[in-house]
Chains A and B, each alone.
Chain A
Amino acid sequence: QLPSFPKSVFAAGTAKKIARIQQKKASLVSEDEEEPQRRTNRGAGKLQPPERPLPPDEWRKMKESLGNPNSFDCQMMTSLVTAGSDLDIAKSLLTFVAMETGTLSYELLLRYLTLCVIGGHDDEVFDVYKIMRGSFPSMDTGASTLFIKSFSRTERWKEAVGILQEVKKVFTPSQRNYHDVIAAAVQHGDTATAWSLYDELITNGKIPHQDTWDALFTCVKKTKEEEEEPEHQEKLLRILLYMRNNQIYPQESVAVKIRTWFESLKGPKWTGGWSSITPKGVCRCCGSELESIQLSAEEYQELKDKVMTDVIQGRDVFNKTTPEELERFKVFVKRKPAFDVVIDGLNVANINKDKNKQSDTLLAVVSALEDQGLNVLVLGRKHMLRPSRFWSKHNMSLIQQKAHCFFTDNISEDDPFLLYATLHSGNHCRFVSRDLMRDHKACLPDGASRRLFFKWQRGHQLVIGGHVAPGRSIRFQSIPEYDTIVQTTGDSWHIPYDDTEDRSTYEVPLRWLCLTKKH
């Protein structure tokens, strides 16, 4: 029985699902394959942490019984952290070390600090902070991060802002650092600080954590009564536009917060609903039509130029082709009428596992498309023309009768030509390939053009579903007519969100949050 896939290769979870099925198949074949051994945590297994605080004598005995290892204190502290031991045990260890050596090392204190922060002992953290400040000239990034995290949870959160400023002298703080402080500012109603830090984070070119958005959307609910509300509203809407521009999708929990926020707004009432979209691009919740997957004329031109300069020519034309070949191809494309479908010959031919039927498979696909009255271009390599077991002369000449063909040199890449021929033919032209084109996407210089490429790809790539066999009609996965992206019409918002952990980076979510304003 055939496994049932979702409609598109770009739908969330498809890649993981296929991987799981293939794994299953593989495990049926070779069941004796061993599970990779999990690496045991270093040091954690070696030392057994005690159950209760020990007096110095007993610590000494334990250390001696282990042959007086050099870093006994740090190793023991690490195992206390991994075991999540009681704070008093750690304190007794520190006392032992302090009495033994007269001081404590930075490393040991840092590990103790980790234990305190994980265990939520914020008062103890204040003490450690004072001690570390007094004994050491400065702090490393690990300690700063821990202090920021811990201080942010307490009334002394403003000090976390100070530590953050200190980190900035040498480093751009991490998203997590920013998140902790922003969440603290929100919690204490200091939205001005929260927003200025958020803006700083964005200017630094970092992508905020989902939790940060979660916090910000929650915050405004609290300060609703205040006068500055319009400003907050505008800023929160700007977050949504940021998601749109960077093709980021909120997680389900954030989507819930967004919905709650919209529904709590004063003035015209917003109603939210969890929705999905029909293949025609209509929201099942409110019945309105979504943004089209088609590119605008300017976007289209931009993408076409970028693909030509960055993917095909790149830094060196000779990497993928030769100038003569490129010229030959340009002349060829110009001479022919615009194509309706461009086929990646080698990719399509290899759909069937059976290598002997490569040309049969290709012929079947070409005929099917030609029967629909489409103007077809087949791209391939010159070796396909040399009659062989895989490439029968008869089939190849039939293909050449039914479609236009262009064969590149055997050492040239054919994919870039495929992209260009499709883009050159215009917006209606599609291409047939199973290749996800990730390496070509990676050749594009910036995120914006990569997103443009991905949008175009989702709207124009035909993927053959199931098997190709003689006598069987060829089915293609359906191409959605709408773009999966955060979008608004002013009176409505449609926000795709992640309800699964299984989405790969080149896939798009299937679930939507639909928000509409009633007048």
Chain B
Amino acid sequence: VQSEQSEVIDLDKWKYVMKSQASFQEQRLSGNEGPSEDAGILNESGADLKDSSSLDATRELVSMWRQAGKLVPQEMTEEEVRLLADLTTKASRKKYLKYLAIKEGHKLSRKEKQQKKKAEREASVKEKRELDIGQNQDGHNFKNTIILQFWDRSLDKLLAWRTAQAMIFGQPLVFDMSYESNMSRRELENTVSQLLEVEGWNRRAPDPFHLHFCNLQPDGTYKKELVKRYGEETWERLLITTTKQHYIELFPREQLVYLTADSPNVLRTFDHSKVYIVGALVDRSIQTGLSLANAKRLKLATARLPLDEFLHWDVGAKNLTLDQVIRIMLTIKETGKWEEALKFVPTRKHDGFHQKLTQT
């Protein structure tokens, strides 16, 4: 029965289907491709043109990878293609494309969610309006309240007052922006994202630090990226101190303590009279001892957070993100309790606190 059946099935039928399509496509292509092939010959002469042809080839390759089911973005900007073509190895190109694809995926899903929300909101507004019309006939459409609605603007004002006070009376906390040359573009972008969060957490704290961004070069990439992310106007009105000066010039040396995970000294108690320094650095390539070297050069005191002293460390590096560090510092400043402060260490990195484990 089996052999009979396989005879019945025309196994090569798909070939005819594809071939008939192919001839169709060929006709279409030959109509289109004429001038572009000429351009290909011309390309050999001019360097500019050649450059653009290599970009086209790159674009084409990405499109074929997409068809082959690889993780690549649907759309790429001119700049992204250029960056991709500049990468030399296959691995680095794949990595970059994967990064773009994931980014694109997030963006799309966010848009989808926004649209869904918008539709829901419109539906509920409509519903409410219908209800209002019904109520209007009874004449009960006004609410009676003591205070005006508490707008976001009011909160912003309140927080701004607090941060302004911190700028006059608050304890300084320095971010050392001297690592521009030690980071790749991606790392620098990550650093700036973290700095944005740092400023946000600080602003919302009951007793904020007076943030200093030191060694911030006026024409450096840090500055450019920060201004780009905040927008010119907001950046100018930000309640932090930014300076191209070195922290050594701003504060007495004996007050300074450089926080670095490579330090041999443990920060046991938070000192309200010290100026703590945090390196504004994302280090994906494991450059051990980079900030410690800086502190050694300036003969500064150094300290690391008491992570091993309080936590059963499990996996991951001991260097924390900048936003985690500021939340830890804000909490320890407010409460003086490491158990409270170290709650901001990501839980995937440890198995809980020492005391808790001994209690149970």
Contact = CB atoms under 8 A, between A and B. Distances in A.
Interface of A: 52-56, 74, 88, 91-92, 94-95, 97-99, 102-107, 110, 127, 130-131, 133-143, 169-172, 174, 316, 318-320, 322, 410-411
B17 A316 contact: no
A103 B19 CA distance: 10
A134 B290 contact: no
A55 B8 contact: yes
B104 to A, nearest CB: 19
A138 B64 contact: yes
Contact of B69 (A74, A131, A322): A74
B68 A142 contact: yes
Contact of B9 (A95, A133, A318): A95
Interface residues of B, number: 42
B12 A91 contact: yes
11 contacts: A88-B11, A99-B17, A107-B68, A127-B15, A130-B19, A134-B19, A134-B21, A170-B61, A172-B90, A322-B296, A411-B292
A50 to B, nearest CB: 11
A318 B294 contact: yes
B57 to A, nearest CB: 5
Interface in B302-353: none
Interface string B123-164: 000000000000000000000000000000000000000000
Given A94-B14, A99-B13, A411-B264, A135 B21 contact: yes
Contacts of B15: 127, 131
B176 to A, nearest CB: 15
Interface in B1-44: 2, 5-6, 8-15, 17-19, 21-23, 25-26, 29
Nearest to B93: A171
Nearest to A55: B9
Nearest to A411: B264
A229 to B, nearest CB: 38
Contacts of A55: 5, 8-9
Q: Which of B6, B90, B297 has the most CB of A within 10 A?
A: B6
Given A88-B6, A97-B14, A316-B293, A131 B19 contact: yes
Contact of A104 (B10, B14, B54, B64): B14
Contacts of A171: 61, 90
A322 B294 CA distance: 11
B60 interface: yes
A496 to B, nearest CB: 31
B235 to A, nearest CB: 32
Nearest to B265: A411
Among all A-B residue pairs, the 7 with the closest Cβ atoms: A134-B22, A318-B293, A106-B67, A140-B64, A98-B14, A94-B14, A91-B11
A134 B15 CA distance: 11
A130 B294 CA distance: 62
Nearest to A54: B9
Contacts of B19: 130-131, 134
B262 to A, nearest CB: 8
A136 B67 contact: yes
B296 A103 contact: no
A410 B90 CA distance: 43
A53 B5 contact: yes
A140 B9 contact: no
Interface of B: 2, 5-6, 8-15, 17-19, 21-23, 25-26, 29, 54, 57-58, 60-61, 63-65, 67-70, 90, 264, 288-290, 292-294, 296-297
Contacts of B5: 52-53, 55
Contacts of B54: 169-170
Contacts of A104: 14, 17-18
Contacts of B57: 169-170
Contacts of A322: 296
Contacts of A98: 13-14, 17-18
B22 to A, nearest CB: 3
A143 B60 CA distance: 14
B5 to A, nearest CB: 7
B67 A134 contact: no
B60 A53 contact: no
A137 B6 contact: no
Given A318-B296, A319-B290, A135 B22 contact: yes
Contacts of B2: 52
Given A127-B15, A139-B64, A169-B57, A134 B25 contact: yes
B68 to A, nearest CB: 5
B82 to A, nearest CB: 14
A95 B69 contact: no
Contacts of A316: 290, 293
Contacts of A143: 64, 68
Given A91-B11, A134-B22, A102 B17 contact: yes
Contacts of A136: 64, 67
A139 B292 CA distance: 50
Given A91-B11, A140-B70, A169-B57, 7 more contacts: A53-B11, A88-B6, A99-B13, A103-B21, A106-B68, A138-B60, A170-B57
B14 A140 contact: no
Contacts of B289: 319-320
Contact of A134 (B8, B26, B288, B296): B26
A381 to B, nearest CB: 11
B64 A106 contact: yes
Contact of B61 (A130, A131, A138): A138
Contacts of B69: 74, 107, 110
A105 B21 CA distance: 12
A53 B90 CA distance: 38
